[in-house]
Structure 1
Amino acid sequence: MAMAAADIETLIRAGIPDAVVEITDLAGDGDHYAARVVSESFRGMPRVRQHQAVYAALGGRMGGVLHALQLTTAVPVQE
C-alpha cells in the first residue's frame, strides 16, 4: 500500500508545525519519496536529531506504509 505525498506532508507539518516541507515522488510509484524539511525548531540540533524528529512526526510509518524516504533537513537561512 503506497502513501500519498500530501499525507506525508500533513504528518510532518502536524508534528513540526513551523516546517516548510517539499515532497518529491522519486519513482512515480508513490513508494519512494524525497522530503526536504526546513524548520527553526532544528536550530542547534545535530542532523541525526533533526531526522529523528521527522521520523517521529511520521508516527512509525517508515518501513511500513512509507517504504523509502530520502530525507534532507535544514534550518531557515537567517538574513
Structure 2
Amino acid sequence: MTIFEDVAALIKSNITDAKVMVTDLTGTQDHLGITVASDAFLGKMLFQQHKMIMDILAPRLKQDIHAVQIKTMTLAQASEQNIFN
C-alpha cells in the first residue's frame, strides 16, 4: 500500500462517509495535498474540520509525513464543485 492509499484509508476508517483524494505536492511523498469531503463537517467551522483531519494524521506526522495541505468540504459542496466525480 502506498502512503497515499494508507493516508486515505486512515481517514476513511475514522470518517466513514469520507471521500478522500491524496496527492504528492513535492515529489518526495512527505508533503501531501489532502482533499476530504464528508457530512461529518456539516456545521463545523473550517479550523474544526482541519483539526479533525490533523488529529487523525497526528501519528503519521510524527513518522513519515512532513507537511500537509488540507482542503475540506461537505459532500454537497464536493458534488457542486464536481470534485470527486
TM range (shorter): 0.7 to 0.9
CA RMSD, 1 decimal: 1.9
Mapping of residues 27-66 of structure 1, within 5 Å: 27-66=26-65
> Residue by residue, what CA displacement relative to the aligned partner does 1:16-70 show, whole Å, maximum 9, x if unpaired?
1110000111112111110000000100000111011111222432254211110
2:10 is paired with a residue of what secondary structure? helix
TM-score, with length taken from structure 2:
0.79
In the alignment, residue 35 of structure 1 is paired with which amino acid?
A: I
Unaligned residue ranges in structure 1 (runs of 5+): none
Mapping of residues 15-34 of structure 1, within 5 Å: 15-34=14-33
2:64 is paired with a residue of what secondary structure? coil
Residue 14 of structure 1 contacts residue 57 of structure 1 at CA under 8 Å; is this kept in 2? no
Q: Which runs of 4+ in 1 moved over 3 A?
A: none
In the alignment, residue 21 of structure 1 is paired with which amino acid?
A: V
How many residue pairs are counted as aligned between the two chains?
Answer: 77
Distance 2:14 2:50 in 1: 12
TM-score, with length taken from structure 1:
0.85
Unaligned residue ranges in structure 2 (runs of 5+): 81-85
Percent of residue pairs identical: 35
Residue 31 of structure 1 contacts residue 66 of structure 1 at CA under 8 Å; is this kept in 2? yes
